[in-house]
Amino acid sequence: MTALSALWLPILVSAVAVFVVSSIIHMTPLWHQTDYPRSPQEDRVMDALRPLGLPPGDYLMPRPANTAEMRSPAFQEKMKRGPRVLMTIMPPWSGSMASNLSQWFAYCIVVSGFAAFIAGSAIPPGSPPFTALCRFAGTTAFLGYVLALWQMSIWYRRSWMMTFKATFDGIVFAVLTCAVFTWMWPH
């Protein structure tokens, strides 16, 4: 067993590596350029929503008030007539991504921390093979970066292509985590 306190540097460096690589992946026209297509008649849709003053949050339409209403013919007709909408309203943009990036970096540290905990619980100090670290740290990192995203496609109809692209990102992040942990594993 390797103490978690001995793994603080690989935790930090792997989080930085994932943060930097994810920034490059999302800021360059690689595979995420087409994730969110432009809505037809975008200006009309935004002009229609703006006066409603919807507070930031997630909305589902149509949404029944209770299970009895869900079974009602009127609600069933709404569902058939459409459109069915799952929508996230965000506050107006300030021009800064500092909060999002800070939260993402903190999340990267959390994922690397769990990867270190799992790997450290299974692997003693020394020179473990890359495969052993990938089995524990890489798998944990992959789970932390990817697995919950699949629920969005299953339940909320998020594009499967977006989920597959994010899964590929997660594989890249897991390999980075493996590489950093292999390089910096305490002897």
Q: How far are the Cα atoms of 36, 83, 86, 169 from residue 175, in angstroms, in the given order?
A: 27, 41, 33, 10
Residue 187, pLDDT above cutoff 90: no
Rounded percentage of the chain residues whose pLDDT exceeds 90? 83
Output the pLDDT for position 127: 77
Mean pLDDT of all residues in 82-89: 93
Region of residue 84 (phi > 0: left; psi between -120 and 50: alpha; otherwise: beta): beta
Q: Give the residue among 44, 40, 46, 87 at the shortest CA–CA distance from 63.
A: 87
Mean pLDDT of all residues in 140-144: 97
pLDDT band of residue 79 (cuts 50, 70, 90) is very high
Output the pLDDT for position 33: 86
Output the pLDDT for position 129: 81
Output the pLDDT for position 64: 94
Output the pLDDT for position 148: 92
Output the pLDDT for position 17: 97
User: pTM for the complete prediction?
Assistant: 0.88
DSSP symbols for 52-69: GTPPSEEEEES--SSHHH
Residue 156, pLDDT above cutoff 80: yes
Where in the chain are the domains?
A: 4-36+95-184, 42-89
Mean pLDDT of all residues in 94-116: 96
Mean pLDDT of all residues in 83-102: 92
Residues ≥6 apart with Cβ < 8 Å to 180: 10, 13, 14, 17
pLDDT digits (tens, 9 = 90+) for 21-30: 999 999 988 8
Residue 18, pLDDT above cutoff 90: yes
Alpha-carbon distance of 186 to 178, in angstroms, equals: 14
Alpha-carbon distance of 162 to 149, in angstroms, equals: 9
**Residue whose tokens read 């999340």:** 107
Residue 167, pLDDT above cutoff 80: yes
